[in-house]
Structure 1
């Protein structure tokens, strides 16, 4: 049997149900409440899910990157500088931000992905900190510690998205675009190679799969999605600084991904829906936020190793056992 086709790419109907429920909830709840605050939360969920989906693409080949926040930052700065200093329209700057981020990821990933396991994790952590420090040293580009403020709002062919509702519709559409892209990749031959590499790197290599190139492809795609997300985030929030893209941001995406389901297509969305609102609800206990995140992560890893997206599948399996 060809190893590239041996691992199923779908996590089954149960995970499909989790994905459908998450999408329906995300799409409908803000409209029912009509609250500007709820629209803001929904927008941040879309952005968190997009970035975590990019990180999940890297996880599909068995790697965990702690430089994801830096790639979000590269996309953010690329788009903002193009729009504000070169006069490039946002609709042009957005895809260019993804392309530039992907190109940088390719250059970095070619030597970087020779490393395995904890060594890869540590070097990506160092890269994230290096990005932050370098940007602080070039205030003419990054704004330094003061950052860049008054970033123009998202504009689509002259239509400026001034209210939360319109930004939410745009963010939801972009999330759908990213998820559709990843769904098509996952079902195709490239997705099967990703799965083979994640399952058994040595066996995949022995079967003729170019493992280094496959891992680098996943790294480039995932990082490009991060840059794409960063561009939208910067123009929505209206302010960026090097500190916006530090180690904490990378860790937050890891927690979203693991909580939702590291290998499930629905995982990033489910994790973002569950975790993104928490900081807003825990404002009165900010000093305990990281502890709460840690507890959530430990509980999920202990009782739901496939993440929250795997919960319907787990419950369905228990139901069959009882019957």
Structure 2
């Protein structure tokens, strides 16, 4: 049985590895010395990294969710409502939002994980649209189409994250934590079990692995990461509405994952770093943005199926061939 690691490619050459680490460190530090607009994009990138990493965990089991934004919404609304109606601070309210999302994902996953391929995609899409309609109709508690405004900024240990620079530090720490979580998972037996289920579910079942249980755990874990991103997003923007979590948002997360590399722990990070700032480049030209996304997807799927995270692998292979 072939087990595919969450890490992509073989060992990278030391100079290239240090170059990549230096570039990532520079990209992480630069926003603190930039203007408010760059800091805003940096915060959004970190939030997307967290959310897309959750989608990556689900995709590892061979499933693709077209309703991922719905779980971001459950985390966002759950944390905001818990904070307002129960008088809780940011962290307890966020934990309630994440726990509520995990329960919803557990109940939904127990039913829909029996479905495969396009049927699973369609049901997750239907769930996302159903949740959006529930939020639109629940004006008494969700604000309906107007959403909920005036959400208090995040505060931890007496520190209020009421500026973009401060919130970027918090978002960066949590986003990198999600990358570290996927990296650690890749080296654990459960991570290998996920890979085995993704490669050949029938063979994995024959070896004694509980395919359904592994898929359910990955689904719940991925949705919980999305909920954490939603709780942070609500506190950063200060506003939530149903239209902030529609199907097009879920498609955007899928595009980030595919372009970054769905089989690499760095896929979500790279995809979010590349695609989050792009809408600003196409401001006022939405059709051009969609054309670019479509062309990028076609090129990635055709020439680099493992995503941008796999670029060092082909580079190293070409270098080895030239040295022979």
Q: Same fold (TM over 0.5)?
A: yes
Query: Which TM-score tier does this pair reach, normalised by the shorter chain?
Result: over 0.9
- Equivalent residue for 1:7? 4
- Distance in 2 (CA, whole Å) between partners of 1:19 and 1:73 is 34
- Equivalent residue for 2:251? 251
Residues 167-207 of structure 1, C-alpha deviations (whole Å, 9 max, x = no match): 00000011122222222222101100000011111111111
Deviates most, 18-27 or 244-253: 18-27
Residues 82 and 96 in structure 2, CA contact (< 8 A), matched pair in contact too: no
- Equivalent residue for 1:110? 110
Residues 105 and 223 in structure 1, CA contact (< 8 A), matched pair in contact too: yes
Q: CA deviation at 1:137?
A: 1.1
Residues 35-71 of structure 1, C-alpha deviations (whole Å, 9 max, x = no match): 1111111111101111000000001111100110000
Q: CA deviation at 1:288?
A: 2.1
Residues 59-115 of structure 1, C-alpha deviations (whole Å, 9 max, x = no match): 111110011000000000001111122211001112222221111101100111000
Residues 57 and 222 in structure 2, CA contact (< 8 A), matched pair in contact too: yes
- Distance in 2 (CA, whole Å) between partners of 1:121 and 1:46 is 26
- Distance in 2 (CA, whole Å) between partners of 1:60 and 1:267 is 12
Q: 1:112 to 1:281 in 2, by over 3 A?
A: same
- Equivalent residue for 2:44? 44
Residues 104-163 of structure 1, C-alpha deviations (whole Å, 9 max, x = no match): 101100111000111101111111111101111111121100111111111113321111
Q: 1:237 to 1:292 in 2, by over 3 A?
A: same
- Distance in 1 (CA, whole Å) between partners of 2:314 and 2:188 is 26
- Equivalent residue for 1:307? 307
Q: 1:52 to 1:9 in 2, by over 3 A?
A: closer
- Distance in 2 (CA, whole Å) between partners of 1:137 and 1:22 is 46
**Which structure 2 residues correspond to residues 181-196 of structure 1 after superposition, within 5 A?**
181-196=181-196
- Equivalent residue for 1:240? 240
Q: 1:22 to 1:52 in 2, by over 3 A?
A: farther
Q: Does 1:150 align with 2:150?
A: yes
* SS of equivalent to 2:240: coil
Q: CA deviation at 1:22?
A: 6.0
- Equivalent residue for 2:32? 31
Question: TM-score if structure 2 supplies the norm length?
Answer: 0.94
**Any stretches of 5+ residues in structure 1 without a counterpart?**
none
Residues 19 and 309 in structure 1, CA contact (< 8 A), matched pair in contact too: no
- Equivalent residue for 1:178? 178
Q: What root-mean-square deviation, in Å, do the aligned CA atoms of Structure 1 and Structure 2 show? A: 1.7
- Distance in 2 (CA, whole Å) between partners of 1:184 and 1:94 is 24
- Equivalent residue for 1:224? 224
- Equivalent residue for 2:124? 124
Q: CA deviation at 1:14?
A: 3.6
Q: 1:201 to 1:49 in 2, by over 3 A?
A: same
**Which structure 2 residues correspond to residues 253-272 of structure 1 after superposition, within 5 A?**
253-272=253-272
- Equivalent residue for 1:72? 72
Deviates most, 284-293 or 210-219: 284-293
Q: Does 1:285 align with 2:285?
A: yes
- Distance in 2 (CA, whole Å) between partners of 1:105 and 1:284 is 37
- Equivalent residue for 1:321? 321
Q: CA deviation at 1:21?
A: 5.3
How many residues get paired? 319
Q: Does 1:91 align with 2:88?
A: no
- Distance in 2 (CA, whole Å) between partners of 1:73 and 1:156 is 22
Question: TM-score if structure 1 supplies the norm length?
Answer: 0.94
Q: 1:22 to 1:299 in 2, by over 3 A?
A: farther
- Distance in 2 (CA, whole Å) between partners of 1:161 and 1:19 is 30
Q: 1:21 to 1:214 in 2, by over 3 A?
A: farther
